[in-house]
Amino acid sequence: MDHVNPTTTTICRLDVNGDTRECAVTPSTTLLEALRYGLGLTGSKQGCDKGDCGACTVVVDGVPVLACISLALAHHDGGAITTVEGLAATDGLTPLQDAFDVTGGAQCGFCTPGILMSAHALLERSPDPSLAEIAHALSGNLCRCTGYTKIFEAVLRAARARREAVGTGGAKS
Amino acid sequence: MSAPNERKPGMQVPTGREMPKADRLRPPEWPGGRSAEPAAGFRVIGRRNRRIEGAAKVTGRAVYTDDIALPRMLHAKVLRSIHAHARIVAIDASAALAMPGVHAVITGKDLPEYYGIIPWTQDEQALCETKARYVGDAIAAVAADTELLADEALRAIRVDYEPLHAVMDVETALAHPEWQVNEKSREGNVSKHVHLDFGDVDGALAASAVVVEGDYYYEGSTHTPIEPHCAIGDFDATGFLTLYSSTQVAHYLHRDLARVLGLPTQRIRVIQPVVGGAFGGKSEPFTLEFCAAKLSMLLGRPVKILYTREEVFYAHRGRHPMSMRYRTGLDRDGKLTGIDARIHIDGGAYSSFGLVTTYYSGQLLTAPYRMPAYRFDSTRVFTNKPCCGPKRGHGSVQPRFAFECQLDKLAEAAGIDPIELRRRNAMGENQRTVNGMRVTSNGFLDCLDAVERASAWSTKFRQLPYGRGVGVAGSMYISGTNYCIYPNEMPQAAVQLKLDRSGRATVFCGASEIGQGVESVLAYIVCEELGLTLGDVRVVAADTDLTPVDLGSYSSRETFMVGNACLDAARALRQKLAEALAHAWGCASAEVTLADGVACDMREPERHAMTVKEAFQLAESRFGTLGSVGWYQSPQLGGDYRGGTIGASPAYSFTAHVAEVACDPETGVVGVTKLWVAHDCGRALNPVAVEGQMEGSAYMGYAEALMEAQVYKPGTAAHGPGLHHGPSLLDYRIPTSLDTPEIESLIVESVDPEGPYGAKEAGEGPLHPSVPAIANAIYDALGIRCDRLPFDPPRVLKLLRDPEARARWERARAPRAEAAVVATPRRAPEP
- pLDDT confidence of B820, banded at 50, 70, 90? very low
Model pLDDT, residue A168: 72
> What average pLDDT is seen over chain B?
95
Which CA distances in Å does A44 have to A26, B226, B280?
20, 12, 24
Considering the domain architecture, whether residues B347 and B200 belong to the same structural domain is answered as yes
Domains located in chain A, CATH noted: 10-86 (3.10.20.30), 95-167 (1.10.150.120)
What is the per-residue pLDDT across B536-545, written as a single tens digit (0 to 9) for each? 999 999 999 9
Helix (H, G, I), strand (E, B) or coil at B808: helix
H or E segment and range at residue A117: helix A112-125
- pLDDT confidence of B15, banded at 50, 70, 90? very low
- pLDDT confidence of B825, banded at 50, 70, 90? very low
Average pLDDT over residues B619-644: 96
Average pLDDT over residues A122-137: 98
pLDDT value at B483 more than 90: no
Question: B59, B70, B524, B553: which to substitute to probe chain A, counting the most A Cβ within 10 Å?
Answer: B59
Model pLDDT, residue A135: 98
First to last CA, chain B: 23
Residues in chain B closer than 8 A to A135 (CB atoms): 737-738
> What average pLDDT is seen over chain A?
94
Model pLDDT, residue B12: 37
Residues in chain B closer than 8 A to A149 (CB atoms): 691, 695, 699, 740, 742-743, 745
Model pLDDT, residue B21: 61
The answer to whether residues B392 and B700 touch, using CB atoms and an 8 Å cutoff, is: yes
Average pLDDT over residues B734-743: 98
The answer to whether residues B504 and B548 touch, using CB atoms and an 8 Å cutoff, is: no
Answer whether residue B503 is part of any domain.
Answer: yes
What is the per-residue pLDDT across B597-606, written as a single tens digit (0 to 9) for each? 999 999 999 9
Average pLDDT over residues A38-58: 98
Q: How many residues does chain B have?
A: 831
Which CA distances in Å does B535 have to B215, B504, B506, B618, B674?
54, 9, 11, 21, 38
pLDDT value at B824 more than 70: no
Answer whether residue B45 is part of any domain.
Answer: no
Phi, psi of A149 (to 5 degrees): -55, -50
- pLDDT confidence of B10, banded at 50, 70, 90? very low
Supply angle C-alpha B467, B470, B475, rounded to 5: 140
Supply angle C-alpha B122, B123, B128, rounded to 5: 135
Answer whether residue B7 is part of any domain.
Answer: no
Strands B86-92 and B131-132: antiparallel
Average pLDDT over residues A143-161: 98
Contacts of A23 (CB under 8 A, 6+ apart): A11, A12, A14, A34, A38, A39, A72
Select, from the ranges A145-154, B9-18, B633-642, the one with the highest average predicted confidence (pLDDT): A145-154
* CA contacts within 13 A on the Cβ side of B532: 29
pLDDT value at B827 more than 80: no
pLDDT value at B653 more than 70: yes
Model pLDDT, residue B819: 45
Does A144 contact B730 at a Cβ distance shorter than 8 Å? Answer: no
Answer whether residue B709 is part of any domain.
Answer: yes
Answer whether residue B30 is part of any domain.
Answer: no
Average pLDDT over residues B30-51: 93
Residue bearing the bigger pLDDT, B479 or B823? B479
Answer whether residue B15 is part of any domain.
Answer: no
Show which of residues 60-79 on chain B sit within 8 Å of chain A, judged by CB atoms: 60-64, 66-67, 69
Model pLDDT, residue B5: 42
Q: How many residues does chain A have?
A: 173
- Cα nearest neighbour of A143 on chain B: B226
Considering the domain architecture, whether residues B208 and B311 belong to the same structural domain is answered as no
The whole domain housing B58 covers: 54-62+490-632
Least confident of A49-53, A167-171, B440-444, B801-805: A167-171
Considering the domain architecture, whether residues B447 and B354 belong to the same structural domain is answered as yes
Model pLDDT, residue A166: 82
Considering the domain architecture, whether residues B348 and B460 belong to the same structural domain is answered as yes
Considering the domain architecture, whether residues B147 and B234 belong to the same structural domain is answered as yes
Of the candidates B609, B585, B590, B591, the one whose C-alpha atom is nearest the C-alpha of residue B599 is B609
Model pLDDT, residue B13: 36
The answer to whether residues B316 and B390 touch, using CB atoms and an 8 Å cutoff, is: no
- A171 in contact with chain B, both atoms CB, cutoff 8 A: no
- A164 in contact with chain B, both atoms CB, cutoff 8 A: no
Supply the DSSP symbol for B82.
S
Give the CA diameter of chain A.
Answer: 55
Strands A19-25 and A10-16: antiparallel
Rg (CA), chain A: 17
Q: Which residues pair with B599 in a beta bridge?
A: B594, B610
State how many domains chain B has: 3
Model pLDDT, residue B826: 47
The answer to whether residues B765 and B557 touch, using CB atoms and an 8 Å cutoff, is: no
Model pLDDT, residue B816: 54
From B614, B632, B650, give the residue that closes a domain: B632
Rg (CA), chain B: 27
Model pLDDT, residue B569: 98
H helices of B531-641, in order, are: 558-585, 612-623
Q: How far is B87 from chain A (nearest CA, A)?
A: 31
Residue bearing the bigger pLDDT, A121 or B830? A121
Model pLDDT, residue B772: 98
Answer whether residue B646 is part of any domain.
Answer: yes
Answer whether residue B174 is part of any domain.
Answer: no
Cis peptide, bond prior to residue A127, ω within 30 of zero? no
What is the per-residue pLDDT across B318-363, written as a single tens digit (0 to 9) for each? 999 999 999 999 999 999 999 999 999 999 999 999 999 999 999 9
ipTM of the complex: 0.96
H helices of B7-70, in order, are: 54-58
The answer to whether residues B537 and B52 touch, using CB atoms and an 8 Å cutoff, is: yes
Considering the domain architecture, whether residues B469 and B577 belong to the same structural domain is answered as no
Please report, for the domain that includes residue B428, its CATH number: 3.30.365.10
Considering the domain architecture, whether residues B135 and B269 belong to the same structural domain is answered as yes
Question: A107, A150, A157: which to substitute to probe chain B, counting the most B Cβ within 10 Å?
Answer: A107
From B263, B292, B315, give the residue that closes a domain: B315
Phi, psi of A125 (to 5 degrees): -95, -20
Amino acid at site B562: V
What is the per-residue pLDDT across B156-203, written as a single tens digit (0 to 9) for each? 999 999 999 999 999 999 999 999 999 999 999 999 999 999 999 999
Considering the domain architecture, whether residues B251 and B308 belong to the same structural domain is answered as yes
Question: A57, A143, A144, A155: which to substitute to probe chain B, counting the most B Cβ within 10 Å?
Answer: A144
Residues in chain B closer than 8 A to A16 (CB atoms): none
CA distance B406 to B208: 15
Contacts of B788 (CB under 8 A, 6+ apart): B216, B217, B219, B795
- pLDDT confidence of B829, banded at 50, 70, 90? very low
Contacts of B780 (CB under 8 A, 6+ apart): B461, B462, B464, B469, B470, B471, B661, B812
Show which of residues 226-245 on chain B sit within 8 Å of chain A, judged by CB atoms: 226-228
Phi, psi of A13 (to 5 degrees): -105, 120
CA distance B196 to B583: 59
Residues in chain B closer than 8 A to A41 (CB atoms): 60
Helix (H, G, I), strand (E, B) or coil at B250: helix
CA distance A83 to A62: 11
From B576, B610, B632, give the residue that closes a domain: B632
Please report, for the domain that includes residue B301, its CATH number: 3.90.1170.50
CA distance B369 to B421: 10
Considering the domain architecture, whether residues B760 and B649 belong to the same structural domain is answered as yes
- pLDDT confidence of A3, banded at 50, 70, 90? low
Does B226 contact A144 at a Cβ distance shorter than 8 Å? Answer: yes
Considering the domain architecture, whether residues B615 and B734 belong to the same structural domain is answered as no
pLDDT value at B3 more than 50: no
Helix (H, G, I), strand (E, B) or coil at B536: helix
- A93 in contact with chain B, both atoms CB, cutoff 8 A: yes
Considering the domain architecture, whether residues B667 and B744 belong to the same structural domain is answered as yes
Model pLDDT, residue B831: 40
pLDDT value at B823 more than 50: no
Model pLDDT, residue B231: 98
Does B54 contact A134 at a Cβ distance shorter than 8 Å? Answer: no
Q: Which residues pair with B352 in a beta bridge?
A: none
CA distance B710 to B697: 19
Considering the domain architecture, whether residues B500 and B469 belong to the same structural domain is answered as no
